[in-house]
Amino acid sequence: MTSHAPKLPDGLVVVVKRDCATCQMVEPLLVLIAASTNLTVYTQDDPTFPESVPAIHDSDLAISWHHSIDTVPTLITVVNGQETDRTFGWSRADWQRLTGLDDLGEDLPVMRPGCGSMSVDPDRVDALRVAFTDTPIISRHVELSSAEDEFEAMYARGWTDGLPVIPPTPERVLRMLTGTTRAPQDVVAIAPPDLVELTVEKIAINAVMAGCLPEYLPWVIAALEAVCTDTFNMHGVLATTMPVGPVIICNGPGTRAIGMNSGINALGQGNRANNTIGRAVQLTIRNVGGGRPGEVDRATHGNPGKISFCFAEDELGSPFTSLATERGIALGQNAVTVFAGEGPRCVVDQLARTADELTNSLVACLQTVHHPKLVIGFDAILIISPDHGRLFAQEGWTREQLITQLIERSHTPGEQLVRGARGIAEGIPPHLRDATLPKFRPGGILLTFAGGGAGLFSSIVAGWANSAIGSDPVTRVVGS
C-alpha cells in the first residue's frame, strides 16, 4: 500500500467481481455478514454486483491497487483505519474467524480458490502503476507526433547503438523499476565522460531500451557501479583508440535464476540476459554519460563486443574456484567483474592429453596478446572450456596452480623482445635486453570457465593498458 492510498473504512471489507465463480458463491453470505457487523463491499467489474448488499464500484481499481488485492474475493479486517487481518479466496475457517460467525458457509465447500484481481491483470497492471505510483518518472518526457515512427525517431535522435531499441514508455520504465528495491532517484554513480549523476531511474530507462527484464536490473546497476570508477576508468576506455569496451563476467546463483548462459555459445548471441545486460550498460554510458562513437569514443576499429559483451561463469561445472571468489566475494553471493577487453580469440588445441601440454599451448597463444614483443602492460581473460577443463580436473590442478604456471612459462629473454629483434621494429626499450620478462604482471590473467561441452577450444580476451596508467578490473556485489 502506498502512502497516498485511499483508506478503508473500519469493520470488514470485501472486494469481489462478478466474473468470478467464487465471488458468486459467497454472495449470499454477504447479507449475513452485513447483518452482524459493519461491512463495506467493493466490486471491480459490474457495479450492480452483488445485488444482495450495497456495493461501491472500484471503477478505477484504486482501492484494489493501493491495498494489494491480488485475488478476489478478499476479506479484510480494518481497525482504526489500519488493516489487521485478511484472507483471500474462500476458506470456511478463515471467513468464520474474521467474521466471528461460527456457522458461516457450513453448506459450502471447505475451500475454493478465488480469481485473479483485475488490478493484477497483465493488460492493466502497467497502466495502473503509472496512474497510482508515488514516485513518478522525473526524466524528461519526449513527445512524438502520431506520424513519427518511434523506432526511427529514437535512432534519429542518437539514442541507439545502431540497432533498434525498445521505446521507454512510463509503463515500461516503472515495470523495470520493480526489479530493484532501490529508490528511482538514488544516485548510483557519476557517469563518464560528461560526469552526469546516474540515477536508478536513468539506468532503468536504458535497460528498457536494451530489452532487459526487470530481474536483470540489479545486474545492470552493479556493472555500472563497477565501470564508473577511477579504477576501471571508463573515460579512458572510451577515449582510447584501442578496440576495447567493458567485458562483464557474472557469478553467483542469480546467474542461473535469471537464465544467463554460461554454456554453448556463452559469448555469442541468443541469450536475452547476457545480451541485454551488457547492452544496457553500454547504452547508459552513451545516453547518460555522453560516450558516443566519433566524439569521446575514438576507437580505431572497435569490436562487436562494444554493443554487448556479458556472460556467466559456469561455476557448477568448473574444476576451479570461481572468478568472483578469487576476487574476494563470498561463496554464494552474486557479483559482476568488469574488464576492459577486446573481442575473444579462439585457442585451438585438440591433441594435448595432459595439463602440462595444454598449458604450453595456452602460453604460446597468450604470448600473442596485442603483440608477441610487448609484455607486462596488457592483462587478459582466459576462458577455459569444459573439454580443456577436464585435463586440469583429471590432474587436480587448481586455479592458483594454472595461473602460476602460465605466468612462469610466459617469461621471455629481453634480447628477443627489444626493438628491432627478429626484424620487428616494435618491442621493449633496448636497456631491457638482458632482463627476462613475464608476459603478464601478477594478477594479470583473469581465469574463468565457460562454454559448450564439446570442442577442444578455449578463448582469450585481451585487455587494454592495465594498472594505474589505464584500467584495472573491478568486482562488485549485485544488490537487490
State pLDDT tens for residues 346-396: 999 999 999 999 999 999 999 999 999 999 989 999 999 999 999 999 999
Mean predicted confidence (pLDDT) in 168-192: 97
Model confidence band, residue 4 (pLDDT cutoffs 50, 70, 90): low
Q: Alpha-carbon distance 258 to 270, whole Å?
A: 14
Percent of the chain with pLDDT over 90: 96
Q: Alpha-carbon distance 247 to 339, whole Å?
A: 5
Residue 116: all three cell numbers together: 485473479
Res 3: pLDDT? 46
Average predicted confidence (pLDDT) for the chain: 96
Q: Which amino acid is at 143?
A: E
Mean predicted confidence (pLDDT) in 20-35: 97
Domains by residue range for the chain, with CATH: 11-132 (3.40.30.10), 153-477 (no CATH)
Whether 284 shows a pLDDT value over 60: the answer reads yes
Res 133: pLDDT? 87
Whether 65 shows a pLDDT value over 90: the answer reads yes
Half-sphere exposure of 213 (CA within 13 A, CB side): 9
State pLDDT tens for residues 139-178: 999 999 989 999 999 999 999 999 999 999 999 999 999 9
Model confidence band, residue 1 (pLDDT cutoffs 50, 70, 90): very low
Residue 2: all three cell numbers together: 502506498
Mean predicted confidence (pLDDT) in 29-42: 97
Sign for the CA dihedral angle at 160, 161, 162, 165 comes to: negative
- Residue 258 DSSP code: T
Left if phi > 0, otherwise alpha if psi is -120 to 50, otherwise beta: which for 328? left
Res 238: pLDDT? 96
3-class DSSP state for residue 143?
A: coil
Res 100: pLDDT? 97
3-class DSSP state for residue 193?
A: coil
Contact 450, 389 (CB under 8 A): no
For 414, residues 6+ apart whose C-beta sits below 8 A from its C-beta are: 428, 432, 433, 434, 435, 436, 437
Nearest to 475 by CA among 366, 369, 333, 343: 333
Model confidence band, residue 5 (pLDDT cutoffs 50, 70, 90): confident
Q: What pTM value is reported for the model?
A: 0.91
Percent of the chain with pLDDT over 70: 99
Helix 272-287 with 200-210: angle, nearest 10 deg: 130
Whether 469 shows a pLDDT value over 90: the answer reads no
Nearest to 276 by CA among 161, 177, 448: 161
3-class DSSP state for residue 340?
A: strand
State pLDDT tens for residues 73-121: 999 999 999 999 999 999 999 999 999 999 999 999 999 999 999 999 9
Whether 466 shows a pLDDT value over 90: the answer reads no
